[in-house]
Structure 1
């Protein structure tokens, strides 16, 4: 059955069997492990309950003992320890009640708590209060009289019942856990032994089904690699080994075909070598004949290629002869072109020198115009400054005129005051005359005041007359200054017009200078390009001579080929291609002016050269 399956299925079935056995063992082990974990958790919970019941019993006994110590000594430290034990009991009992799941144990815990609370209410709380009240002897007498009634036996017994029950649960869990461990160990041992036995069985079966056929197939392949082509290979298997065996048979048949092909190849190579030796002797008339049938296509293609090559070589021979004749014409044309290039380079060099002189003259004229423009600009600035001074003088004269008018107004006010003072003095004199002798002194004062007022009025009129005269002179000065400012303004305008005209002339001269420099640069570039062209023409002439010589040598080499029945090479040329005039020597490159920025493309005058000269160039 295994021989009808392929190798991946054989290996897959083997691995599936091993994996299934391992999965079964792992399942049994996992179930036992789950049981062990669950029993361990239950045992841990029981041990926790056991520890808490022990802690409750300890707390109750501690309360009792600390209460007795406080009863005997009335020491507050006993009371403090009693209070701590009491709080510990309350806390632990609450935690234990939430952890218990058995109703009987919960009932026992409630009985222990109720008994403890009853003991506290009946004895401990009242005794503590009595001792704190100072009746320590009465409290002691009360305890002696109570006898065993003051003990806490009932709560302790209830807690011990819970603890005994938990010990039984722990013992049962430990027994079940040991049994589960034993079952898991037995299952692991049995499963391991089964897996080992299955692995050994599958290894033997796979060895017979895969390893032995591979060894036999390897031996057959080694014989085939050693050159033994008469081997027998079994091809009746339906798996990968059968495919490999059939592939080995294909290799064997291919090796036999290759051996026959090598024999045919040796015969063909011998014939091809003979034909190639004749081709090495420049014989293009040979043809391949008598090759094996596998090489008939190659022979046909080779013979056709040789026929085309013979035709091409005949065409090449005609072309070589044409090249030989044309190279002579090119050499003569190159010599003539070299002479014309030399003449053109000389003429262009003279034109470039003349253009440099014109450019230098234009540059000097532009510099002089720029200096004149600067002088006119300075003159215009000075004239504008003078106009500003005249404007300031006009403003000052106008201020003086306004001040004169204000002084005239003030003098008018003073004249009015003097007139009023004169009237008052006259009225005072009239009143003094009416008063008689009593008013004589006052009349004298009034006359003096009148005289003073009259002198003030006269002085005011005199000052007013002079100020009016000065005002007329100021008006005349303002008028003259205004006329001077207008004349100076006209001068500034004319100077500005002249300065603008000179600036336009300077700008035009600058543009002309730039244009001349661009033309000079263009001519310099043309001069350099012409000299380079002349050098290239010289190189072309030398290349034409070399091409003629090479054409002669090519014709001599081609004449050695045999390209047809009764045809030989062409006759070698009689002309000596190395002869001919020597290349024309060109004048050395002259020094160029300072580099100028290349101008934009623009139309430039012909510079006196005839149109036919440029067409010939």
Structure 2
């Protein structure tokens, strides 16, 4: 059936098969490129939302920690940082709201914003205003009494829901992007192989159906021109132009045989036949050499007019086929170059995204390290405060012991006072007795004179004892006054130490809260760093896949150039067109080297997966 088909139809069918195959391959590749572009745009949006949500959470936690620092120290530096965090939160919240198209995520953002404004009104701004008004102690007491009510969990948790949703969406888009890239590479490789196979098959088939029969006819015409009139003419059963040419050659042979049988006929007929045979043989040789412009322009006798017409029709049809093939190679080469350039642009954009993710990951790691250092410093400060509280407690114990000792001294002084009072009474009674003895001695006269002297001495000694008791009482009174003063001073010292203990305890609690907040921020940033590292790895793998796609596109362009070179060996007269001239050069776009991490991941062996699953 295919042999009976006319050459223009054969050429049209071949061209249609090539065009349909190329269009199908380009359609599949365009669909995959569109899917990759959509996934990349969605990933970029999700990463932007994730970054802004992280900014909101960090700003909110920063407001909480700076407010606590201002309550502890009343340092204006904390207030300045609190104001900066407040402005950063408001700006990021306003930028994030238009990006959230999902109603649940937008509702979570609005819920977080409302909770933040309530927290500022109820705690942050109000407590800062109280500290500015000189009520720092009462503000600290209120924070301690509030417990968990002063925390910003109600505003932070909706933001974490948004971040978790965006991380899941990023993972989903990355999986879709990788699947689209893998499908594009497979489609490009399979399509290129199929297209090349079709082109080679068609070239082989057309050569077998057109070029080889033409060569056989050329040989037959040469033998016929050499006088071999009893030869067999091939391809007489074909229904196309080559069959017409074969039947025309059969006519030549029959005419030659008839001429030979009729005693060589007339010289003119022989000359005409020889001219026709030589002309057709010459043009068939030119066609076999690739010159498809070798149409017969020489006038043939009317008997051989059909030979000239059929030969020229076959050459024209063959020339149209080769021209169509060359035009198809131009179109395919142009599409391959565009695909390769699009792949190169996508590779560069993917590599740029990978570099941005690497820098973001490094910055987040630095922030994580600084927060950990801050948490460790706060813990060390809390430990020092605990040591100070222990020292103050020891001082209070010592002060209590001193108070007790002075109380015992005061009690002893009271006892001494009683003893002095007793001695005073004894001295008074002794003096009274001395006076009585002196009176009795006076009554005794000379016999009692010595006893009177002794009575005077005893009276003087009693008076001296009264004087010494009075002085001891005065000294003891002064000592008791000093002891009371010392006891009051020690009580004041104990009260001051109690205040110091309370203040240090409050500072210790606030430092513990700051350390807890910093540890929570460090944990959140560690999770964010891990997520960014995962996204960076996926982006590096995407860059490697795009590089594979670009290489496949370049290989396809090279194969098409080879096909075009084979088609260019045929001389079809006029050039294919401006598009053919503009696309003669092969694709020579430069490709940047992939990052080392991407290359390492690309060549990493997989023990339980094939080479496509390793991506």
Please indicate the TM-score interval, normalised by the length of the shorter structure.
0.3 to 0.5
Normalised by the size of structure 2, how large is the TM-score?
0.37
Normalised by the size of structure 1, how large is the TM-score?
0.37
The structure with the largest alpha-carbon Rg is: 1
Structure with the larger RCO, 1 or 2 (CA within 8 Å, 6+ apart): 2
